[in-house]
Amino acid sequence: MDREAIRLEHITKIYKLYNRNRDRLKDALGLTRKKCYSEHYALKDVSMTIRQGETVGIIGVNGSGKSTILKIITGVLGTTDGKMKIEGRISALLELGAGFNMEYTGLENVYLNGTMLGFSEKEIEERLQDILDFADIGEFIHQPVKTYSSGMFVRLAFAVAINIDPEILIVDEALSVGDVFFQAKCYHKFEEFKKLGKTILFVSHDLTSIAKYCDRVVLLHKGVKLAEGSPKDMVNMYKKLLVHQLDEETLEDVGQKSEIHRHTLEGKAWKDHFEVNPALLDYGEKQAEIVDFGIIDQYGQFSSIIEKGSECQVKAKVSFYSRIKDPIFTITIRNKQGTDITGTNSMFERVETGVVEAGETRIVTYTQRIDLQGGDYLLSLGCTGYAGDEFKVYHRLYDLIGLTVLSSKDTVGFYDMNTVITVEKG
């Protein structure tokens, strides 16, 4: 890993924002001396070095400059300032269909893309069967790509990108499309590339993949490189950024090691640290109401991103408006398809809740080790009970907030049994 594959030095990208189209025209024609636009920094003084054979991830919230920096590296965009050096043939999978002609067939687009990348027709033909096998779209290869589903589109685009023998592979979120089997095939190819000493630059919101495949991660925010380091450290910093516990306005230095100060967030509601599902299901008789909620990770931070195998707490604050005997507090975790994966309640766990008077509040804490497989889930909370023999739903919040489990090792099924395997000679 001695040779540099990519070097970026003080890269800045500024966009001019005009309030009116005529101002854009005047500025383009040089008809005004007055500044008639505002400047938006998509990237500001970003430097980084990626060495041959590294897999480097870039993470950040939307609008942080991730896609911009990839487009600059691939030559799709120019820079406003700064220098760049690339060593090696680049293959990029940035936006679905980039470089594809929608009217051409899949096969025609394979030749078109190969030619654009500098290959002769003979060289493309030598790689054609590998491309077709990886894409696995059958006879659709002879149909116009405008008839493809998004999954078929990305299968073909990815198959072309990885089979033209790149030294540097750049991927931007493309693997979020396609079924789980295709994604597994793509990541297996990642592993092959790493063993062959290829360089991979990977932008994704899938933090599990970032943690599993990347040697190093760069964290961008509002066009500025906040920090770079190990996947675990950068993901933890990103988690704090998501809940506004990193204050980018107080950065003393935007270089390699930024000095970042935290908000204390005192007096803030727990739920204000999270993005609440606008489509949540909220119902019940409301003799009791869940008025606040949150997730606390192993580091004591509010976060919806939890490391697999770690212990976390889910907290709910419940206000009571009537006298209720033995309320039952519930928690459920579902997958994105709406299937209940796991859950429990205070009755199952044999927790005595007693009589709660009107005007009182209870804080319920669910403490558990998270052994779910890596992925995205939805959290539901509730308060129920019995009035005599009649079951009552006082308040339920279904699919309230998202829960992301960050994993470096997944097994089969919904959760990890943490099996210990030993193999001995017979």
Sequence letter at residue 293: F
- Of the candidates 140, 12, 20, the residue with the CA atom closest to the CA atom of residue 78: 12
- Kindly tell me if the per-residue pLDDT of 121 is higher than 80: yes
- Kindly tell me if the per-residue pLDDT of 266 is higher than 70: no
Measure the N-to-C terminal CA separation of the chain; round to a whole number of Å: 42
- Kindly tell me if the per-residue pLDDT of 259 is higher than 70: no
List Cβ neighbours of 347 (8 Å cut-off, separation of 6 or more): 328
Mean residue pLDDT across the chain: 85
Sequence letter at residue 241: L
Torsion of CA 375, 271, 59, 221, to 10 degrees: 170
CA angle 220, 221, 222 (to 5 degrees): 125
CA angle 89, 98, 183 (to 5 degrees): 80
- Of the candidates 248, 230, 226, 249, the residue with the CA atom closest to the CA atom of residue 46: 226
Q: Which of 100-104, 264-268, 341-345 has the lowest mean pLDDT?
A: 264-268
Output 249 or 171, whichever has higher pLDDT: 171
Instruction: Tell me which H or E stretch contains 49.
Output: strand 38-51
- Kindly tell me if the per-residue pLDDT of 252 is higher than 60: no
Residue 201 confidence (pLDDT): 92
- Kindly tell me if the per-residue pLDDT of 265 is higher than 50: no
Output 406 or 246, whichever has higher pLDDT: 406
Q: Burial of 43 by CB count in 10 Å (0-12 exposed, 13-18 middle, 19+ buried)?
A: buried
Q: Which of 197-206, 235-244, 292-301, 365-374 has the lowest mean pLDDT?
A: 235-244
Residue bearing tokens 């033995």: 326
Q: Measured in whole angstroms, how far is the alpha carbon of residue 354 from the centre of its chain?
A: 42
Residue 260 confidence (pLDDT): 34
Mean pLDDT of 186-207: 84
Distance CA 240, CA 303 (A): 7
Half-sphere exposure of 128 (CA within 13 A, CB side): 16
- Kindly tell me if the per-residue pLDDT of 249 is higher than 60: no
Sequence letter at residue 156: L
Instruction: Name the most confidently modeled range: 25-39, 135-149, 191-205, 406-420.
Output: 135-149
- Kindly tell me if the per-residue pLDDT of 174 is higher than 70: no
* Domains detected in the chain: 4-250 (3.40.50.300), 270-406 (2.70.50.60)
Instruction: Name the most confidently modeled range: 171-175, 278-282, 336-340.
Output: 278-282
Output 256 or 245, whichever has higher pLDDT: 245
Enumerate the β-bridge partners of residue 276.
Answer: 401
Alpha helices in 179-254 (DSSP H): 180-195, 207-213, 231-242
Output 260 or 158, whichever has higher pLDDT: 158
* Alpha carbon distances (Å) from 180 to 106, 308, 340: 22, 20, 20
Mean pLDDT of 227-250: 74
Distance CA 313, CA 300 (A): 9
Dihedral sign, Cα of residue 68, residue 73, residue 79, residue 84? positive
Q: Transcribe 355-423 into DSSP letters.
A: EE-TT-EEEEEEEEE--BPSEEEEEEEEEEEEETTEEEEEEEEEEEEEEEEE-S---SSSB--------
Residue 180 confidence (pLDDT): 64
20-43 pLDDT, tens digit each: 887 777 777 777 777 777 888 999
- Kindly tell me if the per-residue pLDDT of 343 is higher than 50: yes
Strand order in the sheet with 168-172: 90-93, 168-172, 199-203, 55-59, 216-221, 224-229
Confidence of residue 242 (pLDDT cuts 50, 70, 90): confident
Mean pLDDT of 45-53: 94
Mean pLDDT of 109-128: 86
Mean pLDDT of 346-361: 96
Output 37 or 53, whichever has higher pLDDT: 53
List Cβ neighbours of 95 (8 Å cut-off, separation of 6 or more): 172
Distance CA 398, CA 414 (A): 20
Q: Which of 12-21, 28-37, 44-53 has the lowest mean pLDDT?
A: 28-37
Mean pLDDT of 222-233: 91
